[in-house]
Structure 1
Amino acid sequence: MNLQNLRVFLKVAELEHITRASEELHLTQPAVTKIMQSLEQEVQLDLVERQGRRIVLTHAGRVLQTYARQMFSLEREMDDALAALRDVHRGEVKLAANTTAGVYLLPSIVARFRGLYPQVGLNISIWNSQDIIEHILDWSLDFGIVEGEASQLPAGLDVRFFTRDALILIASPTHAWCGAEAIHPSSLERRR
């Protein structure tokens, strides 16, 4: 279905008059009439009824009007979202990560960000998790990547969990733990 024809239909529905719609759309009255007839042929339903010089929507016309409004509302949302992306030309984002995240996660995040926002500067720091949290809370950082339990972080932070880390214990082939299927974490504390 031609979106321009739907726009014409919506204007006719709004004004309930073909001549007034043609004037607002800067089209001839026969062009608007032809578009309306074309739409009716396409959907194989009558969309309007003439009541004297006025146009009244049929039930099918009201259904089409509802969906057309939704489509154009979505089109406006899309345009706004794309405009917001076009407007990201400059500025700076301050980001910090702890050592592990900085080594293993940050390179791919930075590469993706650079691809999306090449004109935005990145100020990246590597700090411990507690320093990152403090700088986020005092607004000197925009984003931080830390390790830990989300439930242990201060209230008021917008926290997004995005990956899980697995720690693996490695021991010498002659160590007492070699071959053990499981080792309780408290065993690690006693070996210090």
Structure 2
Amino acid sequence: MMTRIGRLAVGLATCLLGAACGLPAEDEPRQADLPRRPLTSPTATAAGIEPPGDVVEVLCLVRDARLVQAVRRVGASPTVQRQLESLAAGPTEAERANGLTTALATTSVRVDVPAGSTQARVEVAKTDEGNARSDEMMAYGQIVCTLTSRVDVNSVVFTRDGKVLQVPRGDGSLSRGPLGAGDYASLIAPA
């Protein structure tokens, strides 16, 4: 008798949970029309307010010595190089007002993803040894986390003059790559 009552209770709970969502059942799926608006408030520019875009661009910026994803709406899917250029340009005025900064100031980089590959090769320009930065680990983390946020990039290797560089990972160790966001997990701010 307990078994039958138990099954009845489970069946009743399942029915109640299914009906609890508040939406009536439909025979066929229907198209959902989502509003076209930015995920965050629009950013101000010198010309006024930028119109919201249709595509999301993720950039990893810095807040309180931690990597933070900033989501921007853009008009079209950015190329890998364009997304890296957006990152190198730094935070928008609105992002700076929210405490976001960058460790990539005046950094010149080129990126290539060979056809059929998901590994980005980032060519880093030679820097003046007298201008070495103490936040180099954060800068590499920004690039890796930004590029691997794309569906077409799984890992990143850094090069100079075509030779693979050793770069700092989030734990301070040096690596020739390939690197992924997990290599900088200790620097990523909790969601």
Q: What TM-score comes out, normalization by structure 1 length?
A: 0.25
**Higher relative contact order structure (alpha carbons within 8 Å, sequence separation ≥ 6):** 2
Hey, which of these two has a bigger chunk of strand by percent?
A: 2
Query: Whose Rg is larger?
Result: 1
Q: What TM-score comes out, normalization by structure 2 length?
A: 0.25
